[in-house]
Amino acid sequence: MLVEEVKRCVEKYYPKGIEIRRRIHQYPELSEQEVETAGLAAAVLRELGIETRCGIAGNGVLGIIHGAKPGKTVLLRADMDALAIDEAADVPFKSKKPGVMHACGHDGHTAGLLMAAMALNELKDRFSGTVKLLFQPAEETVGGAERMIAAGVLENPRVDAAFGCHLWGPAEEGTVLVKSGPLMASPDEFAVTLSGAGGHGAMPHLTADPALMTAQAIVQFQSIISRRKDPLEPAVLSVCMVHGGSAFNVIPESMEMRGTIRTFSKELRDFIPQEMEKTLKAITLTSGGTYKFELKKLFPPLVNDAAAADFARKSAEKLFGKERVKEAVPSMGGDDFAYFSEKIPSCYFFVGIAPKGSKVIHHSPYFKWDEKALQVSAACLCQTALDYLSV
């Protein structure tokens, strides 16, 4: 429904979208500090006459557009936070804040959803039901989505389905990638401390050697991935920090390591830490040391609902044709949109930003993308919402 109107509106609001995106890009804000970004989003919504609530779960903003008649309620979500990275990308609208950069595209998510808000607001007499526009803080760290849900954004009116998208560096510009089922992994964090008697590097037999225990643990952890779980079920376990020791000839009394576990299912998400703990028990038993294992569960796996994914796919196909809409390849990255997908039928999809023949790396100081992608993301969000509300 309204495909040509959506295209026309997105085209019309594209210059405004670029302006908003560049403003946010120049003044990036870290998680839980998105004050100006949230203020800008709220100001744009209010200027359009859209009912707007601010300060939800910190810096969250919710806009509500009521259609001509009562009907279903659909939620569209964008995240707003930036990263602690010093921008090295060569763009005329470079970050004016040293050490802070929009290196994941959340500036584009916010601008794209505001463009969709402008279009939906213009078309509000042509649809039934309600659109909730959710601008969310703290995706990169504490999971602002969970907090916004706890603050009640899925109620009054009750949300029937949620959609969101991420600008996507591994995919080609102009493409939209959709998939039902697991799309993004659960990005849990762990910390391990191995302790025991230290001593002279020349006399290891008098120590428990926490350095050797740590090395054994790192190797054994990989055999959980390669030997303990079903090889057809994907999972990653990466040890990313190892700290300990103070001199070349002193065996330390403790070593600490930290890392991440990535899984797509609840079962594996529980199983891997249990196996890690078994491994640590065995290593410390034979070495005469002790261990401390801490698990910080972050977001759940992001699993798209089949019917919601079908809506997103068909809406994108109406706008851009089947050849530009592809099956998404799941990512081991995480996204706190997962909290929405856990509660209500949802679909998160990707919008390609890589120039043909190349890849764009997220969370890199060189991260950059062409703003044409704003038209794609805004049109897809807008069209999907309209199509969902029309049946």
| Enzyme catalytic residues | 81, 139
Residue given tokens 């100006």 in the structure block: 36
Residues that bind Ni ion (CB under 5 A): 104
Beta carbon nearer to Ni ion, 104 or 235: 104
Instruction: Give least dist CB 8 to Ni ion, A.
Output: 29
Task: Give me the least distance between CB of 106 and Ni ion, in Å please.
Answer: 6
Of 164 and 210, the one with the shorter C-beta distance to Ni ion is 164
Nearer to Ni ion, 104 or 213 (CB): 104
Collapsing DSSP states into helix, strand and coil, what is residue 244?
strand
CB atoms within 10 A of CB 282: 13
Helices 372-389 + 3-26 axis angle, to 10: 130
Asked if residues 254 and 234 have their Cβ atoms less than 8 Å apart, the reply is no
- 126: nearest Cα among 49, 71, 164: 71
Q: How far is the CB of 232 from Ni ion (least distance, A)?
A: 28
Residues facing 168 on adjacent strands: 352
Q: Do residues 306 and 180 lie in contact, with contact meaning Cβ atoms separated by under 8 Å? A: yes
Helix residue ranges per DSSP H, the chain:
3-26, 35-47, 106-122, 144-150, 210-223, 266-287, 306-320, 338-343, 372-389
- How far apart CA 136 and CA 78 sit, in angstroms, is 6
CB nearer to Ni ion: pick between 78 and 194: 78
Measured CA to CA, the distance from residue 291 to residue 213 in angstroms comes to 10
Cα angle at 363 between 361 and 367, to 5 degrees?
A: 55
Least gap, CB of 166 to Ni ion (angstroms): 6
Q: How far apart are CA 157 and CA 131, in angstroms?
A: 10
In sequence order, what are the residues at sequence separation of 6 or more whose Cβ sits closer than 8 angstroms to the Cβ of residue 25?
91, 93, 94, 95, 102, 107
CB of 165 to Ni ion, least distance (A): 11
**Lateral strand order in the sheet of 235-244:** 235-244, 254-263, 186-195, 290-296
Nearer to Ni ion, 107 or 209 (CB): 107
The nearest distance, CB 268 to Ni ion, in angstroms, is: 23
